[in-house]
Amino acid sequence: MEKMEIRFCGEVIEFIFGSSKRIVFGDESQPGLEIGRDKKSQKIVAFMCLDFPYLYNRILQGLKVKPISRRFSVESVDEGDTVSPICDPRVKNATLAEIVQWVWEKYYAHLAQETAMEVAA
């Protein structure tokens, strides 16, 4: 199980679980996600999504077809101006799909609801 930090900036989100001085994010056919590798060792140390609200479903569908078997423990969330420690058992020893689902529900789902309410009004 690897410790993970989640970093947000608006719709861009990074899932970082390895240390690296030089992360290179490439498209490795994992839907919705860029794969971050340490440039020197080529180890996978992060994932990134460029537009999480738009690509969230695509990520989950992609993880069903092409699962990532590693498990992670989310330790903190960095929202730019604040870094919050995370103690939620839902994201301890969790799959990436479970973490993606948790991020959506905790940080983004209300936006979809607000948009739906605006459309309904």
Shortest Cβ 114–another protein spacing (Å): 8
Cα separation, 105 vs 103, in Å, equals 6
Among residues 15, 11, 4, 8, which one has the least CA distance to residue 82? Answer: 8
CB of 120 closer than 8 Å to CB of 93: no
Q: Is 31 in the site for another protein (CB under 8 A)?
A: yes
Q: Which of 48, 63, 94, 96 binds another protein (CB under 8 A)?
A: 48
Among residues 56, 33, 57, which one has the least CA distance to residue 44? Answer: 33
Q: Which of 6, 15, 32, 103 binds another protein (CB under 8 A)?
A: 32
If the CB atoms of residues 93 and 114 are measured against another protein, the closer one turns out to be: 114
Q: Is 83 in the site for another protein (CB under 8 A)?
A: no
